[in-house]
Amino acid sequence: MAYSTGSDTIAQMYADIVQDLVPYYLDKTLLQNSAIIRMQLNVEGQSGGQIRIPVATVPTGAATVGEGNSIIAVSEGNLTPVAANITFAKRGSASDVTQEAVEDGLFDNVVGATLDRLSGVLATATDSAGTALMKTEFTNDDGVGGANADFTQSFVLSPDAMAFGSTRTPTVNTWFNPDFDKHEFRATTRNGFTVLDDRFGRTITSAVLGGSEAEANVQAVATSVANLRSVNAPVGADGNYVGVIDAGLELAINKQIAGVGGSTIGALSDIGNNALRNAFASVLAGCTLYRSNLLPDAS
């Protein structure tokens, strides 16, 4: 379909961006994925800048009650819910489109580039906020124990470790600036994260990609999985925990699986064959792995 230049083109461009911003954003965000964070809450249209989620501690001991005895007296653990709060923060993104770009550029290219910029910045801001919270709350390290910017923190967690809340889905507004002869698009969303149980998340520190420090490996992932099992952390629908790892840890795992550095590569397992074919072991030691470039360093 051909589009003319002028106000009708901008009207169409604005309509397309409004329609497609949310799908583009969801395609780019990692943590707004129910396989990684099971509890996803949308409270758009409700008042308040915070969600309070009740979290009850599940008792670990057996409550065997003798006939005629008090039930609460033998029940272990705190059965009174405590609050986990999601405080909403605004994420913002901007893109300016000159009138010349509208007149000279192919319409679909201009719309696509604007959508990529707006949704990409919102997605990056959202995921970065989530992984920063993981760094603060998941302090048990199953990696090599690095504590500076030469190490990246990856994470292994239960889908029930965190919650995500949104009070404003990605929204875009635009206006024309006659002084600069350009159309100014501004996109925002309001969301936040909270940790429901810090026992349900583990950190794996490993050298940054290309670094010379110590690297974690498959054993670190297996250790995190074992530690989560020991506290009865729930698994996902696929029966696995979730690993959010950086490219450096991904490379270290694949090197170990494939035996890179040895004189030969022997007969590999299905996991090893998959790592050689796709450069990624998607399921490992009871953990489904996702790659992210937005993980914090260990400083």
Parse the chain into domains and list their residue ranges: 7-55+81-291
Q: What pLDDT sits at residue 1?
A: 39
Q: What is the pTM of this model?
A: 0.86
What CA–CA distance (Å, rounded) separates 229 from 25? Answer: 33
Half-sphere exposure of 258 (CA within 13 A, CB side): 17
Helix (H, G, I), strand (E, B) or coil at 122: helix
Q: What pLDDT sits at residue 77?
A: 56
Nearest in space to 249 (alpha carbons), one of 202, 200, 204:
204
| pLDDT beneath 70: ranges in the chain | 1-8, 58-62, 76-81, 106, 259-281
User: Residue 207 class from Cβ within 10 Å (0-12 exposed, 13-18 middle, 19+ buried)?
Assistant: buried
CA distance to 32, 89, 167, 225, per residue, from 48 (Å): 21, 12, 9, 37
- Cβ-based neighbours of 195, under 8 Å, separated by 6 or more: 84, 133, 134, 137, 138, 161, 162, 201
Q: How many other CB atoms are found less than 10 A from the CB of residue 275?
A: 22
Nearest in space to 36 (alpha carbons), one of 257, 277, 297, 294:
294
Q: What pLDDT sits at residue 87?
A: 96
Q: What pLDDT sits at residue 263?
A: 46
CA terminus-to-terminus distance, the chain: 52
Q: At what angle do helices 247-258 and 270-278 cross, to 10 degrees?
A: 130
For residue 190, what is the enclosing H or E element? Answer: strand 182-195
- Cβ-based neighbours of 229, under 8 Å, separated by 6 or more: 286
Query: Model confidence over 27-44: pLDDT tens digits?
Result: 999 999 999 999 999 998
What CA–CA distance (Å, rounded) separates 249 from 204? Answer: 9
